[in-house]
Structure 1
């Protein structure tokens, strides 16, 4: 069973151009410039994903605001990097959570005799002093 998500290449250039409100030749130019990188079929025809179409719309919006294509390329590059880094952070957070669940109590801390923080092995107990100290006030004779 094939899963379809926003990155699944499914639109031919004519359909993607229509969805983005652009001419197919504009999509070819953006591909050459590296603004959008559609997947290629075995016959080398372009297949655009929904994410590509959204990116094409973003290019049109930024262009309408007066940005040149090099500025747009840089903005898209940075947005893609941020998205990749966020994804990586989520992966690392999940891996850390899994590790913490696998080894609960691996690091245990206790208070030492003089109030300092002491790291002890899980499952061990701190030796307590069993000394009895008797205090007698000094009496003058």
Structure 2
């Protein structure tokens, strides 16, 4: 049975909507892309599309920027968080 909610990785939002949802400008969003902080999916015509997971990642980036972390540091933090998530997903829970 479908909950009617899109999958968190489903690309739904244009750059302007994604920027608004994340509380940043489209220009800043493009800067974050250039620094490898996220990679949106693209339509056949090349239009960027962002998912709910992308929006959450953008909000995390904004939090780190606000706390004084530079973009290189943010990339490192996000890479470590991604690796941690990947490792937790591949390991059985305690007691299994």
Question: Displacement of 1:4 after TM fit?
Answer: 2.5
Q: Which residue of 2 aligns with 1:130?
A: none
TM-score in terms of structure 2 length = 0.87
Q: Which residue of 1 aligns with 2:74?
A: 72
TM-score in terms of structure 1 length = 0.60
Question: Displacement of 1:9 after TM fit?
Answer: 0.9
Aligned partner (choices 32, 37, 44) of residue 30 of structure 1: 32
**Inter-partner Cα distance in structure 2 for 1:45 and 1:81:** 28
Higher relative contact order (CA 8 A, sep 6+): 2
Question: Displacement of 1:48 after TM fit?
Answer: 0.6
Unmatched 5+ stretches in structure 2? none
Point out 4+ residue stretches in structure 1 off by more than 6 angstroms: none
> Bigger radius of gyration, 1 or 2?
1
The CA RMSD measured in Å over matched residues stands at 1.9
Kindly report which structure 2 residues correspond to 1:7-86, keeping only aligned pairs within 5 A, or say none.
7-86=9-88
**Inter-partner Cα distance in structure 2 for 1:41 and 1:83:** 27
Bigger fraction of residues in helix: 2
Unmatched 5+ stretches in structure 1? 98-141
CA deviation profile, 1:80-118 (whole Å, cap 9, x unmatched): 11111111224xx7xxx7xxxxxxxxxxxxxxxxxxxxx
